[in-house]
Amino acid sequence: MTGAVSDEGCVFCAAQAGDNAAALIVARGETCFVILNKYPYNNGHIMVTPNRHIGSLADATEAELGELMAWTRRGEMGLTEAYQPHGMNIGVNLGRPAGAGVPGHLHVHLVPRWNGDTNFMTVVGDTRVVPESPPKTLERLTPIFARLASQNR
């Protein structure tokens, strides 16, 4: 982490210090990284986040914003290649009232979506069913993201 002081309990700051596989990090850039969501809404749910512990787009430098968007673009391309979704949710939640699970550390969610992917388990049982394990998702996405980054795409 560089710059601002992190919250002691920040999952993104803690993940950066660890091994990529253990931390579920798909790819690292100079100012940002891509990480799997530990509690995914669907297979392939990833997040792009700055290395620095910042809470909003307004706090990001031009370099961070540029790389954040570049990895978000690669995320869309990589998830499309890996999963062939019918659509994708891409979004930023700033602050807990807006739905941010980690309100102090900016991150962009990318969630692949398929026609009919909302099923009765979510509606009736308040339970999500995601058939692919995080290690399998990491294994699937890491080489795709490495290739996209090397092509500067």
pLDDT tens, residue by residue, 70-89: 999 999 999 999 999 999 99
pLDDT, average across residues 50-54: 96
State how many domains the chain has: 1
**Predicted TM-score (pTM) of this structure:** 0.87
Buried b (16+ CB within 10 A) or exposed e, 108-119: bbbbbbeeeeee
- Asked whether residue 145 is assigned to any structural domain, the reply reads yes
Q: How confident is the model at residue 97 (pLDDT cuts 50, 70, 90)?
A: confident
Residue 3 located in a structural domain: no
What CATH number is attached to the domain comprising 92?
3.30.428.10
Residue 142 lies in a domain: yes
- The reply to whether 29 falls in a domain is yes
Average pLDDT, the chain: 88
In a domain, 4, yes or no: no
Residue 59 domain boundaries? 11-150
Q: Quickly list DSSP for 43-89.
A: TT-EEEEESS---SGGGS-HHHHHHHHHHHHHHHHHHHHHH--SEEE
Asked if residue 1 belongs to a domain, the reply is no
Helix or strand holding residue 108 (H, E)? strand 108-113
Reading the block at residue 70, the tokens are 């570049």
Q: Which residues does the annotation mark as catalytic?
A: 107
pLDDT at 122 over 60: no
